[in-house]
């Protein structure tokens, strides 16, 4: 199953200027219900976000698509 199929919320931040991707991701994570996942799409690896997620008990899986899009699937660690 692709990352897009697994995600309840998708934040396509490829056309957004900072800090909008971060803000939209935070808002999206707020909306997640138990067991749901969020997909963030960017053209780069968001290192500061990774640390923030880890600090706050979230797990993620990142993969790079052939067009350069980095897809980050995020969910609450159990």
Q: Which residues contact other proteins by CB under 8 A?
A: 15, 17-19, 26, 29-30, 43-44, 47-48, 50-52, 55-56, 68
DSSP state of 14: T
In the complex, the smallest distance separating the C-beta of residue 70 from other proteins, rounded to whole angstroms, is 10
Query: Do residues 75 and 38 lie in contact, with contact meaning Cβ atoms separated by under 8 Å?
Result: yes
Q: Which is nearer to other proteins, 10 or 50 (CB)?
A: 50
Check the CA dihedral 3-76-35-13 and report its sign: negative
Q: Which is nearer to other proteins, 5 or 39 (CB)?
A: 39
């Amino acid at each position: 199953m692709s990352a897009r199929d697994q995600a309840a919320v998708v934040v396509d931040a490829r056309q957004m200027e900072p800090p909008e991707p971060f803000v939209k991701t935070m808002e999206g994570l707020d909306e997640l219900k138990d067991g749901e996942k969020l997909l963030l799409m960017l053209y780069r690896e968001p290192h500061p976000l990774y640390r923030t997620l880890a600090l706050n008990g979230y797990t993620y899986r990142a993969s790079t698509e052939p067009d350069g899009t980095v897809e980050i699937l995020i969910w609450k660690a159990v």
